[in-house]
Every structure is written in structure tokens, then in C-alpha cells.
Amino acid sequence: MNSFEWLGNVLANIGSYPMRARALYVEEGAPFDVKARTMVLEHDLYSDELPEAAQRFALRRTLSVLDASGVVENARRQKPDVSPAELVQAFNFYWKRDAFIDFSRLNGSK
């Protein structure tokens, strides 16, 4: 059974999800919130059709688990103690710009 999780928790634990043919489906639109209701669902690589659970709950497909994992990996290289809120910030940055966040350029912090 598919269940909702908060986006921040999904990102913090992204390594526990299968990488292949899975994507993050989120209830709200961008920018996403740390407590955005999210499901990690299998998706058909050759179709734009949403999985049944995504349709039922009006979820939006965001990034594949593989892409989200890359976002998290990049953030953790910069900040080993990165918080779920910062992971969501990095996720939003990638979603908007198709580029990895550079935490050292934000608010003058490292």
C-alpha cells in the first residue's frame, strides 16, 4: 500500500527507495514545503500517464528518485549535517533551475 510521507523525510531517506522506475509525487505545487505530502511511486518510463494513486490523490510528478538522490548527494557533499528543510530547499532549486544548489552562495553562509 502506498502512503503519504513528508517531502523532507523522503529526501532525508532517499537511499532507502528503489532508484529504478520510481518518482516522487507531491500534493502541492512548487515551491515545495518540507511537509508537502509525498508518495514515492513506480512510474512507466514510456508513458506520461500518472500511477493510479497519483491520480486518486491529485498528485504531481516531480523528480525521479534517481534525480532526487543526486540533489541530496550534492547537498550532503556541501553540508554533511544538512537538514530536511535544506534538502527541500535544494530540491526546489533543482526543480526550478535544473541545476544543483550552492549553499555557499546563499545568504553568505557555507
Q: How far apart are CA 94 and CA 96, in angstroms?
A: 5
| pLDDT computed for residue 83 by the predictor | 97
Specify the pLDDT at position 108.
Answer: 53
Would the CA dihedral through 5, 96, 67, 56 be positive or negative? Answer: positive
Walk along the chain (110 residues) and give the pLDDT tens digit of each residue. Answer: 578 999 999 999 999 999 888 999 999 889 999 999 999 999 887 888 899 999 999 999 999 999 999 999 999 999 999 999 999 999 999 999 989 988 888 765 44
Q: What is the pTM of this model?
A: 0.89
